[in-house]
């Protein structure tokens, strides 16, 4: 990511939290809240370009995110998700040999989420061994399309899923309640060491999916889940927007390893 792209992303984050803002207000928040070391001229230059590219809209001296740009991003994300869905249809779990690994790349949380629901959670599991998720933060179903919700519920009917969460925040617990309502068998919080700073795991049958996130996106996730001390202060609309708008590369390393999968189940179940 270039310095200019980084500044743009931070400007979007600033305006997702408060709007409308003047160029000077944006510049101050970039420095104070995000530690961005950049000149006022550089910020003003990026704002001008973002107006030209219709990412932002301007009224008098104040800026805000262009709603049409947000809608365009959402539509593009849905299209990419459909393409990813089509590509992963070619993955044949049965043909994977013991020890085989497959690396898959995704652009954004929606692409990744549909793969986890439609493929990983429904992977072959003839012995009906419990599914195990080792997450740093509790994943959220809030704001997902109907197909995601239906698919998640179906996956929980096929296999018993146990979600172990390293964090124990009020936001995580709230999202966990929703997962339980859609069929998750068990959720535990505060399980230290079950996930790493940048990656989570999901284990089903003989398969292990390691989900690797970018540092920036993981930090954004941390801020979103840790900030609200009370659920009443959690802005779900803002949460959904901030989690969906960035489209960083996310990687899944899918491995078939019966022994290792069993070791994870013995350790955590």
Per-position DSSP letters for 206-241, written without gaps between them: TEEEEEE--HHHHHHHHHHHHS-SSGGG--HHHHHH
Instruction: Considering only CA atoms, give the Rg of the chain.
Output: 20
| CA distances (Å), origin 211, targets 106, 113, 252, 258 | 10, 11, 5, 18
- Contact indicator for 155, 161 with CB cutoff of 8 Å: yes
Closest by CA to 202, choosing from 259, 127, 104, 122, is: 122
Give the pLDDT score at 121.
Answer: 96
Alpha-carbon torsion angle 242, 211, 191, 126, nearest 10: 130
Segments of the chain with pLDDT less than 70: 1, 76-90, 143, 225-247
Q: What pLDDT does residue 229 have?
A: 54
What's the token pair of residue 45? 């230059």
Nearest alpha-carbon partner for 12 in 181, 242, 206: 242
pLDDT of residue 89: 47
Tokens linked to 233: 């202060």
CA distances from 92 to 120, 151, 192, 206, 253 (A): 12, 19, 34, 14, 15
Average pLDDT for the chain: 86
What are residue 113's phi and psi, to 5 degrees? -60, -45
Instruction: Report the pLDDT value the prediction gives residue 171, as an integer from 0 to 100.
Output: 81
Q: Sketch the domain layout of the chain as residue ranges.
A: 3-69, 77-268
CATH class of the 77-268 domain in this structure = alpha beta
In this predicted model, what pLDDT tens digit does every residue of 110-139 receive, in sequence order? 888 889 999 999 999 999 999 999 999 999
Torsion-angle region of residue 37: left (phi > 0), alpha (psi -120 to 50) or beta?
beta
Query: Architecture of domain 3-69 in CATH?
Result: Orthogonal Bundle (1.10)
Distance separating alpha carbons of residues 206 and 160, to the nearest angstrom: 15
């Amino acid at each position: 990511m270039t310095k200019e792209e980084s500044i743009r992303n931070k400007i979007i984050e600033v305006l997702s939290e408060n709007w409308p803002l003047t160029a000077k207000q944006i510049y101050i928040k970039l420095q104070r809240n995000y530690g961005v070391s950049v000149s006022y001229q550089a910020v003003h230059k990026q704002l001008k370009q973002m107006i030209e590219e219709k990412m932002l809209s301007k009224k008098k001296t104040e800026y805000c995110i262009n709603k049409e740009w947000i809608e365009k991003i959402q539509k593009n994300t849905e299209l990419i998700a459909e393409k990813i869905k089509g590509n992963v249809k070619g993955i044949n779990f049965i043909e994977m040999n013991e020890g085989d690994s497959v690396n898959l790349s995704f652009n954004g949380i929606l692409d990744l989420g549909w793969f986890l629901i439609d493929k990983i959670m429904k992977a072959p599991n003839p012995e009906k061994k419990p599914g195990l998720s080792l997450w740093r933060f509790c994943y959220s179903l809030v704001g997902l399309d109907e197909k995601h919700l239906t698919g998640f519920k179906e996956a929980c009917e096929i296999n018993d899923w146990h979600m172990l969460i390293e964090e124990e925040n009020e936001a995580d617990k709230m999202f966990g309640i929703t997962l339980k309502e859609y069929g998750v068998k068990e959720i535990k919080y505060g399980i230290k060491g079950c996930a790493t700073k940048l990656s989570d795991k999901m284990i089903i049958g003989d398969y292990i999916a390691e989900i690797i996130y970018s540092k920036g996106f993981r930090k954004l996730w941390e801020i979103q889940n840790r900030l609200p001390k009370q659920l009443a202060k959690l802005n779900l609309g803002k949460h959904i927007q901030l989690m969906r708008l960035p489209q960083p590369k996310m990687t899944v390393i899918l491995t078939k390893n019966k022994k290792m999968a069993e070791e994870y189940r013995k350790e955590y179940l």
